[in-house]
């Protein structure tokens, strides 16, 4: 999963950086364009690794991954071939797809866990979307290029309130939901609180460090490992 997600991320950045007339480039896009040859080589290595690992993935999970992969491929075609990124709430789509990919191996091999893990999966999707939305808000304090999707614009407007809702909901479910392990909820709640704290400190941190810290906030599950 790590190899697949990184490959998609790197390919997306390379395609963005190579698109003519793209006026929404950030520092990460220029970095990918400058080191294009190295990224292409790393993508080739990751593709070989994926080809080696693919036959070892359970058949039930492969079916669900094919459905998800079809949706992701369609998303790539829409935003890169038609240059219509503004027609999709990209930040929300990324969160949903990442959460789905994370839970597929578990629910595919044990379908009985689909309902008990539905709430943690939805909260993880919300958290990943919040991560992307915070980064978008920090990098677009001044409007530029294409306007955001209406859903993205609405979410950014109420970002602190949405994040607080996710944090409180996760904390409450960690206490009261006995169907799923409480560390799942605790990790989401801690990450949401961390994003809120970073948002409050956004004026005091350089943009690049702020973005890196937002991704670092999603590593809170590591803190929960001793409690599993």
Both 42 and 153 in a single domain?
A: no
- Answer whether 177's CB lies under 8 Å from 185's CB: yes
| Residue 210 belongs to some domain of the structure | yes
Closest CA relative to residue 53, chosen from 97, 98, 7: 7
| Burial readout 5-15 (b: 16 or more C-beta within 10 A, e: otherwise) | eebbebbbbbb
Both 46 and 70 in a single domain?
A: no
For 178, the domain range is: 59-79+89-227
Residues 136, 152: Cα–Cα separation, whole Å: 9
Both 138 and 68 in a single domain?
A: yes
Q: What tens digit of pLDDT does each residue of 114-157 get?
A: 999 999 999 999 999 999 999 989 987 766 566 777 888 889 99
| Residue 84 belongs to some domain of the structure | no
H or E segment to which residue 161 belongs: helix 159-176
Both 164 and 103 in a single domain?
A: yes
Model pTM greater than 0.95? no
Both 129 and 24 in a single domain?
A: no
Both 47 and 63 in a single domain?
A: no
| Residue 64 belongs to some domain of the structure | yes
Both 63 and 139 in a single domain?
A: yes
Residues 21, 26: Cα–Cα separation, whole Å: 14
- As given in the structure block, the two tokens for residue 207 are 């943009």
Both 116 and 18 in a single domain?
A: no
Q: What tens digit of pLDDT does each residue of 170-213 get?
A: 999 999 999 999 999 999 999 999 999 999 999 999 888 998 99
Both 117 and 169 in a single domain?
A: yes
| Residue 6 belongs to some domain of the structure | yes
Query: How many structural domains are present in the chain?
Result: 2
Chain mean pLDDT for the chain: 87
| Residue 166 belongs to some domain of the structure | yes
């Amino acid at each position: 999963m790590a190899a697949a997600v990184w490959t998609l991320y790197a390919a997306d950045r390379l395609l963005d950086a190579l698109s003519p007339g793209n006026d929404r480039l950030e520092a990460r896009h220029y970095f990918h364009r400058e080191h294009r040859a190295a990224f292409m080589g790393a993508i080739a290595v990751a593709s070989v690794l994926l080809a080696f690992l693919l036959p070892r993935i359970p058949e039930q999970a492969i079916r669900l991954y094919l459905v998800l992969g079809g949706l992701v491929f369609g998303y790539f075609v829409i935003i890169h071939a038609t240059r219509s990124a503004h027609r999709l709430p990209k930040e929300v789509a990324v969160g949903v797809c990442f959460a789905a990919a994370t839970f597929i191996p578990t629910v595919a091999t044990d379908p009985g866990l689909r309902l008990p893990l539905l709430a943690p999966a939805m909260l993880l999707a919300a958290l990943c979307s919040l991560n992307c939305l915070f980064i978008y808000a920090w990098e677009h304090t001044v409007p530029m290029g294409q306007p955001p999707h209406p859903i993205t614009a609405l979410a950014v407007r109420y970002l602190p309130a949405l994040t607080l809702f996710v944090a409180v909901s996760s904390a409450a479910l960690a206490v009261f939901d006995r169907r799923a392990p409480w560390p799942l909820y605790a990790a989401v709640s801690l990450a949401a609180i961390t994003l809120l704290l970073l948002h409050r400190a956004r004026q005091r941190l350089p943009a690049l460090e702020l973005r890196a810290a937002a991704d670092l906030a999603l590593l809170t599950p590591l803190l929960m490992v001793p409690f599993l």
